[in-house]
Amino acid sequence: MDSGVQEASTAQLVGKLSEQVSRLAQEEIKLAVAELQAKGKKVGVGAGLFGGAGVLAWFGVMSLIAGLVLLLATVMAPWLAAFVVAVGVFVIAGIVALVGKKQIDKGTPPVPEEAIQGVKQDIATVSERAHR
């Protein structure tokens, strides 16, 4: 009669274990999705900043062209001013590009690292308790 009680409690424990493992897997998947969404947003911001850098670089090219036109049309001061402005625009474009690159680096690779750590920790905990 003792073996029947022990078998029933073992069956209950196995049932609870199955339910808990299922719930744990669902929670880890939710964490992975949230982490991938956060990284995706950072990649999007970085790509937008790269686009902004491209626009600023285009304005730099236009300033260089304006400087060359002014060089041919007038005395030294106006074209020199146009080149100074163009250099300033290129510096700003470089800074924006670096900020964009950092944003993309933060979002890549798109691997849910926190979720993976959680799963590894869960496996270690289950393995440790199973050996007891």
Domain assignment of residue 25, yes or no: no
**Structural domain boundaries, residue 75:** 46-110
Q: How many domains does the chain have?
A: 1
Domain assignment of residue 63, yes or no: yes
Model pLDDT for residues 66-112, shown as the tens digit of each residue: 776 676 667 567 767 777 777 887 888 899 999 998 888 887 776 66
Domain assignment of residue 32, yes or no: no
pTM above 0.75, yes or no: no
Q: Can you tell me the distance from the alpha carbon of 132 to that of 36, in angstroms, rounded to the nearest whole number?
A: 36
Q: Which of 47-51, 71-75, 113-117, 126-130 has the lowest mean pLDDT?
A: 71-75
Domain assignment of residue 89, yes or no: yes
Domain assignment of residue 103, yes or no: yes
State both tokens at 115.
Answer: 């979720």
pLDDT for 8: 60
Q: Which of 128, 117, 126, 131 minimizes the C-alpha distance to 28? A: 117
Q: How distant is the alpha carbon of residue 128 from its chain centre?
A: 34
Backbone angles phi, psi at 60, to 5 degrees: -60, -45
